[in-house]
Amino acid sequence: MKGHIRLGLLLSTIAVTASTGLMASSHREAPFITSLPKVDASDFYMFRSYEANRSAYVTLIANYLPLQDAYGGPNYFTLDPKALYEIHVDNNGNGVEDLTFQFRFQTNRQGLAVMAGTKSIPVPLSNIGPVSATDTSAQNVAETYTLTLVRGDRRHGTATAVVDATTGGSSFTKPLDNIGAKSIPGYAAYANTFVHTITIPGCDTPGKVFVGQRKDGFVVNLGETFDLVNIKYPAEELAPGANARSLEPNTLADKNVTSLALEIPTACLTAGTEPVIGGWTTASMRQAAILNPAPQNDKSVASVGPIPRPTGTELRGGAWVQVSRLGAPLVNELVIGLPDKDRFNGSQPINDKQFADYVTNPSLPVLLQALFGGAGVKAPNVYPRTDLVAAFLTGVDGLNKPANVVASEELRLNTSTDITPVGSQQDLGVLAGDKAGFPNGRRPIDDVVDIELRVAMGVLLSPFDGSAQDPDPASSGSRQLHFTDGALPNPADYLQVFPYLNTPVGGSPNGVSD
């Protein structure tokens, strides 16, 4: 057991929280958001761009609408035109947004129809023939979006449109989801045409934006976990030096998400001499809604005649109400208690003092000890857990802590940290000596499940020698165990260029057929 822990340990621990809809980063992380999948933020990434000749940029990616099955037609995974999607940046450490990038979406239907006998009948499909970047005549449903930069308070600051650097237009196009090779031949090349170069207000250097379906980059073993940890273990103990991190499948390997990706010049995100920025994403809906107003006569199919039917319209008004929030991964899953999960999703970083007890006195290590104390697992008996305050609320001294930080949950990135080239990136990030990885920002390759479980179990509490300087000699051995879910990220599953997350899984496994 020394140096490693059986897979069942971590997985059983997660199963304790399974009834609350946890794990998979922030997929279905709180009760209320399960009813609004289009505005469910699943992952947030923020890192210095490691594409060749792009080191002066920061990439920010907010993923929404998780757990997409590639074959999920005929109505694919459009974003909500009634929602406001935002990426926030705090560049002085005070827990308040200084820059906000706002995305608003519009779904357009072309109204394609076919002649069935003598009648023109609207089709039920998103496309009725092959679609390309230059020929959309067979595309029935298309999405566009606007992008706005707000400086200062996100609701009352100065808002200016971000425009296409080539056309000067303020409306951007989004690719169709990856229906399959017959519908969209060469999907990777097709999707690349939707990477737009943008002019950013107040920024001398252009950036990039891409919004579209991507392969989910998060890696975790979910299915066996939720089936009461129904995992087939090796009969023998893991041998010293064995790699327990690659013994289980990645349940999300065939899932897609919708990514809102930005690449912004670093100089346009930082302020003054402070190199550390904090970031998070939110989604908001209008406060009030009226569903299916009074029926109207629908004459869109003239041959049928007027039939009273609900229009399907949804009217919304009032102030924006935040329903989803995500900065660092797994916070609402494994840190925030069930009674406060919806509250956390509706809150702002500056008000995170209300959740402090969940960080200083965490429940997860206690659950681990209760379940597996006989196997040598012991929760650190060190309260308050100042190591977790650093990891989740302030940043770590000498790594990514702003000079004048106010405790608040954000994903923090030190933009002065050297980039680690792709071939040298360590998926355990800072724990493996790679200072450009999580929790100093987050790259797609970073295995945040393994990292955060080890941090929760006290790997940052050192030394581990049982001396008078050891913060808790009784848990010294447990703090060094290699907690893992057994699902290992594969560098080949990610792109080395913007938008970094890979081509989405196609809905049809076949190539083009007659």
The mean predicted confidence, pLDDT, of the chain is 86
Q: Do residues 64 and 501 touch, judged by C-beta distance below 8 A?
A: no
Question: What are the tens digits of pLDDT across the range 129-173?
Answer: 999 999 999 999 999 999 999 999 999 999 999 999 999 999 999
- Give the model's pLDDT for residue 33: 62
By the 10 Å C-beta count (0-12 exposed, 13-18 middle, 19+ buried), 317 is classed as: exposed
Which two three-digit tokens encode residue 318?
Answer: 């009032």
Q: Among 25-39, 186-200, 322-336, 424-438, where is mean pLDDT lowest?
A: 25-39
- Give the model's pLDDT for residue 238: 43
**Phi then psi dihedrals of residue 120, to 5 deg:** -90, 115
CA distances 282 to 77, 118, 368, Å, are 19, 50, 31
pLDDT greater than 90 at residue 469: yes
Average pLDDT on 468-482 reads 92
Rounded to whole angstroms, how far apart are CA atoms 2 and 19?
A: 31
Which two three-digit tokens encode residue 142?
Answer: 């298309």
Which two three-digit tokens encode residue 475?
Answer: 């848990």
Confidence label for 506 from pLDDT (cuts 50, 70 and 90): very high
Rounded to whole angstroms, how far apart are CA atoms 290 and 313?
A: 8
Rounded to whole angstroms, how far apart are CA atoms 338 and 52?
A: 43
Give me the helices (H) in 138-260, please. Answer: 187-192, 223-226
Question: What are the tens digits of pLDDT across the range 333-379?
Answer: 889 998 999 999 999 999 999 999 999 999 989 987 887 777 778 99
Which two three-digit tokens encode residue 491?
Answer: 């560098």
CB under 8 Å, gap of 24 or more: what pairs does 30-37 form? 30/332, 30/341, 30/342, 30/344, 30/345, 31/341, 31/342, 32/323, 32/342, 32/345, 33/323, 33/324, 33/342, 33/345, 36/285, 36/323, 36/324, 37/65, 37/66, 37/67
Question: Where do the domains of the chain lie?
Answer: 7-493
- Give the model's pLDDT for residue 301: 39
Confidence label for 243 from pLDDT (cuts 50, 70 and 90): low
Q: Which residues pair with 256 in a beta bridge?
A: 68, 215
The residue among 106 and 465 whose pLDDT is bigger is: 106
Distance of CA 114 to the CA centre of its chain: 40
- Give the model's pLDDT for residue 202: 96
pLDDT greater than 50 at residue 239: no
Single out the residue of 257, 134, 142, 143 nearest to residue 193, CA to CA: 134
Q: How many CB atoms lie within 10 A of CB 230?
A: 11
Question: What are the tens digits of pLDDT across the range 193-228?
Answer: 999 999 999 999 999 999 999 999 999 877 664 453
Rounded to whole angstroms, how far apart are CA atoms 162 and 62?
A: 18
CA distances 289 to 108, 258, 312, 320, Å, are 21, 25, 13, 12
* Sequence-distant (≥ 6) Cβ neighbours of residue 261 within 8 angstroms: 59, 60, 61, 62, 208, 209, 210, 211, 498, 499, 500, 501
- Give the model's pLDDT for residue 235: 39
- Give the model's pLDDT for residue 17: 32
Q: Among 70-74, 79-83, 398-402, 428-432, where is mean pLDDT lowest?
A: 70-74
Rounded to whole angstroms, how far apart are CA atoms 296 and 292?
A: 10
E strands, 49-140, in order: 57-69, 83-90, 99-109, 113-116, 119-122
pLDDT greater than 50 at residue 392: yes
Q: How many CB atoms lie within 10 A of CB 360?
A: 14
